[in-house]
Amino acid sequence: MNPLLESLEQLKQLFIHSIPTVIFVVVLFIILDRLLFRAIANVMKKREEETSGALERARKRASEAEAKSRAYQSAIQEARAQIYSGRQEDRQKALAERESLLKAVREQSDRLVHEARASIAAEAATAREQLAATSESLARELMERILGEGPAPAAPRGVQQ
């Protein structure tokens, strides 16, 4: 027999013997695809959807929290500006009152200067106490209106809330 024909015959036999293996591999691939690969792909797809949904919800909540934080900071700044404006007005009024009192004292005679200064000092202390009490109550009232909370506990003098 010719060596070439012999090789072809061997190849033919090899091919015939490999057909069941090829069929087995194809059947195994189909079974694995239907039972394992598709299930794994579905689970991975579901996890991806859940993860992306959770991330989207987290981003949305973070943006909402950021917006609330900006609104809160804006409200705080506005309240501080109003308090500062009120204090400035009260200060201007107190300064105007003080100037008018000083002018009146200068017009009085020399024998009443000592008594007038004592009277002015007492009135100035009273005005400062009233101003302090008024500014504290205004600050509390503004905080209650802005924050919508119940009455805040009284803070010791000199302590800012």
Return the higher-pLDDT residue of 109 and 138. Answer: 138
Residue 127's Cβ-count burial label (10 Å; 0-12, 13-18, 19+) is middle
Question: Would you mind telling me the total number of residues written for the chain in this entry?
Answer: 161
Give per-residue pLDDT as tens, 46-62: 988 888 888 888 899 99
pLDDT band, very low/low/confident/very high, at 78 (cuts 50, 70, 90): very high
Q: Any idea what DSSP says for residue 2?
A: -
64: left (phi over 0), alpha (psi -120 to 50) or beta: alpha
Task: Evaluate whether 161 touches 155 at the Cβ level (below 8 Å).
Answer: yes
Q: What angle do CA 48, 54, 57 make, to 5 degrees?
A: 140
Q: Which residues of 67-101 are buried (b: 16+ CB within 10 A; e: fewer)?
A: eeeeeeeeeeeebeeeeeeeeeebeeeeeeeeeeb
Determine the average pLDDT of the residues in 152-161.
Answer: 54
Return the higher-pLDDT residue of 155 and 59. Answer: 59
pTM attached to this predicted model: 0.34
Give per-residue pLDDT as tens, 8-41: 888 889 889 999 999 999 999 999 998 888 889 9
Q: Compute the distance between CA of residue 102 and CA of residue 54 in angstroms, rounded to an integer.
A: 71
Q: Any idea what DSSP says for residue 159?
A: -
